Chain A
Amino acid sequence: MRPVHVLAAAGAALVSLSALSACGKNDDAAPKGGSGAIEVTATDSSCEVGAKSTSAGAVTFKVTNKGSQVNELEILAPDGKIVSERENIGPGTGAEVTVQLSAGTYKVMCSAGMTGKGPSQALTVTGQGKAVDPRLDQAVAAYRTYVAEQVDDTLTKATKFAAAVKAGDVTKAKELYAPSRVGWERIEPVAESFGDIDPKVDLREADLKQGDRWTGWHQIEKALWKTGSLQGEGPYADQLVKDLQTLKTKVGTASITPTSMANGAKELLDEVATGKVTGEEETFSHTDLVDFKANVDGAQKVYELLKAIVKERNPDLATTLDDEFAKVQKMLTKYEKGDGYVPYDTVGAKDRKDLSDEVNALGEPLSKLAAVVAR
């Protein structure tokens, strides 16, 4: 299941706004209505694309679903990878997809029933246009590798954790709990883009809705630290591993762009600000600082991959981000203990405020990263 589309739509309108008001300070700019968009008409068995070629740069597809099934628009790169997609286009409705395309031959595919298969038409993109900086493609590719590594890491460690849980070894399970989450926490925004996995593995008790079945790390966390018994936890441990295996099989299909990477980095800091600094994430184990560190590392990885471009386009932002990442990392070292961190319930109010100040100090400039790499 993909996110609801209402706000994503508003986002698209703003993108076209920004294209017209380069300085970004002109509040009067209005979006140009639809002209220049490539019309796509989808039915249950056809996919008519209103152009055979276009020039490189930002290309907008305006898709209309005239069929009877829910449809999906996919733009496939010359190598077959999904460049962009739009799911859940209901019968009789339409959607717009804007995507940065460099020269090459793409496929525009309509997938009735959202099976990932369907009729397609070739689209040749020519010229330089505002072609994507190849370093951005490299950054995305490197990030995909990183994401895959982190998923592997979390799966390996969660498997060991699950084994300890199933063996009823409370001490061992407690020891393995926080490390098993590190890979997940580093790439959480990507993992969360698969909407069904996140609630299964990382839901907190406080977020349960009536009738929800609570599974995942935090369910076991409660058993370990609050109940102190692993009786009946075996199935939960198995389920956690199973869900992470599903993530592993799916993660390669995640839609990742430089913008989504940058937004993900910002969201990792949001996670720290709303969940970790407050001590809400790990309410029983108090291992919040382990997650905190993993979130920061994940955000820093994104920044490092995009840094060369940020340095060129906004050197002041690069300086600030270098400085603030260094500061928050230094601040975290203060709380190191053994291979991990001190329990968060031992961190006093004054220290929590210092951490919170630093999260704001880093989160604010980090929120500017997406716009820098999006252009």
Chain B
Amino acid sequence: MTANVSRRRLLGYSGATLAAGAAAGAGVVSVARAGADHGSADDAAVPFHGAHQAGISTPVQDRLHFAAFDVITDDRDRLVRMLKEWTAAAAAFTGGHPYGSAAGGLGEAPPDDTGEALGLPPARLTLTIGFGPTLFEKDGKDRFGLRAKRPAALIDLPHFPGDDLDPARSDGDLCVQACADDPQVAVHAIRNLARIGFGVVSVRWSQLGFGKTSSTTPDRQTPRNMFGFKDGTRNIAGTDTKALDEHVWASPADGPSWMAGGSYVVARRIRMHIETWDRTSLQEQQDTFGRTKGEGNAYGAKREHDPVPLDKLPADSHVRLAHPDGNGGVRILRRGYSFTDGTDGLGRLDAGLFFIAFQRDPRKQFVPLQSKLAASDHMNEYIQHVGSGIWACPPGVRKGGYWGDGLFS
């Protein structure tokens, strides 16, 4: 028997036996009404349909719930059915609506929607899907007849020096990035997608992020990461269509046509050694980045957004190594979030950066950049990459289409 006998019996068998009761319906009805009103508050909704998936060039929201899924069925039709259902649910959630009935459905049936987002605004929720290498081929098996469609750019990431990757926090056949200004809205979306997917997919791991560390709206303040520094000053602006075309969106010439207008996402769970960093001198902290902690200006520059005189920065500083000017103009679109998952059992914060980067071709962007950073970045003393994944994010969904329709059709 279960721990909580009374609640269990209330909600379950006995309660349902007699569809009986006194006049306690009023509370239930008001919940149902709240659900109906809820749809009108879409002033902060990000359109779901479009040429590109939302959640990439979209101005970065405050909160993240990122989930990686394993596909646990071999039945391709079932997977496609689920993707269609996910798409319909995602369109509803991003519009600020419940998926199906949340509170006014049949009394004998569990509500379709779990309901914790009822009455909340859309909170600029975006849901972005990606397909991992193992969806195309796993253990040498072409599980869903997709092997031939795997883009060359969807590589298996190489081992980088210093990596200490936990398989339980890495990879996944699918990923969904949920970003919203309200964490409850983001969590609600992932929870409901996971529920819809039972029997088809299983959550492999998921990550909550609480503070954006990058901005795709460079006219605003660059946010600070858990080191207390601004990073990603030269991030690609969501409005810079030229840079997006050049660095973020896959073009038809790049590879399979189903990826045209899509992008490749790399996620890395980067643990920060918070305590050792905190007792590091301001000078060394600033040298590590190659910029000041207060204003965020690079050494040799006056303001944060001024051009960076690379030769004025320490050779092993993070900004010098990562800056586009030192990498033949290579840029990535960063959308990372800070995370804190409690403590690590040794009394230290389990905290860091959940790095997310979108790009046109990881072979030419993330891999060379990270190879360089992993080899030389002074910051490596204070960080460790403990989780990793790469996924191909298809282009946006057209009305009537579904996530991945180009891949599965």
Contacts and interface: CB of A to CB of B under 8 A. Distances in A.
Contact of B199 (A255, A361, A374): A361
A93 B28 contact: no
Given A13-B29, A198-B5, A193 B104 contact: no
B199 A263 contact: no
Contacts of A31: 25, 29
A206 B32 CA distance: 37
B20 A24 contact: no
Given A85-B18, A275-B2, A4 B10 contact: yes
Contact of B14 (A193, A274, A368): A193
B106 A6 contact: no
Interface string B38-61: 000000000000000000000000
B24 interface: yes
Contact of A3 (B14, B19, B72, B110): B14
A111 interface: no
B19 A98 contact: yes
A330 interface: no
A140 B102 CA distance: 30
Given A3-B9, A27-B101, A189-B13, A16 B25 contact: yes
Contacts of A207: 1, 3, 5
Interface string A252-282: 0001110110011011001100110000000
B190 to A, nearest CB: 15
Contact of B195 (A95, A193, A202, A364): A364
Contacts of B35: 27
Interface string B80-105: 00000000000000000000111111
B169 to A, nearest CB: 14
A204 interface: yes
Contacts of A7: 10-11, 15
Given A21-B104, A193-B9, A96 B21 contact: yes
Contact of A15 (B5, B22, B108): B108
A117 interface: no
A352 interface: no
A259 B17 contact: yes
B217 interface: no
A353 interface: yes
Nearest to A256: B17
Interface residues of A, number: 79
B101 A263 contact: no
B304 to A, nearest CB: 46
Contacts, number: 214
Given A12-B20, A27-B33, A357 B110 contact: no
B1 A13 contact: no
B14 A2 contact: yes
A26 B200 CA distance: 29
A202 B1 contact: yes
B6 interface: yes
B21 A12 contact: yes
A241 B200 CA distance: 44
Contacts of A270: 2, 8, 12
Given A10-B28, A353-B202, A357-B72, A204 B17 contact: no
Nearest to B27: A10
Contacts of B36: 27-28
A204 B3 CA distance: 8
Interface in B100-124: 100-110
A371 B106 contact: yes
A25 B116 CA distance: 17
A14 interface: yes
Nearest to A31: B25
Contact of A361 (B5, B14, B102, B198): B198
Contacts of A131: none
Nearest to A268: B13
Contacts of A5: 20-22
A171 B35 CA distance: 59
B12 A18 contact: no
B86 to A, nearest CB: 15
Contacts of A28: 32-33, 36, 104
B108 A371 contact: yes
A365 B13 CA distance: 17
Contact of A8 (B20, B72, B202): B20
A13 B199 contact: no
17 contacts: A6-B10, A24-B109, A25-B104, A28-B33, A29-B32, A192-B9, A193-B17, A198-B1, A204-B1, A259-B19, A260-B16, A263-B108, A274-B2, A324-B199, A362-B199, A368-B110, A374-B106
Interface of A: 2-18, 21, 24-31, 84-86, 93-99, 188-190, 192-193, 195, 198-199, 202-204, 206-207, 255-257, 259-260, 263-264, 266-267, 270-271, 274-275, 320, 324, 353-354, 357, 360-365, 367-368, 370-371, 374-375
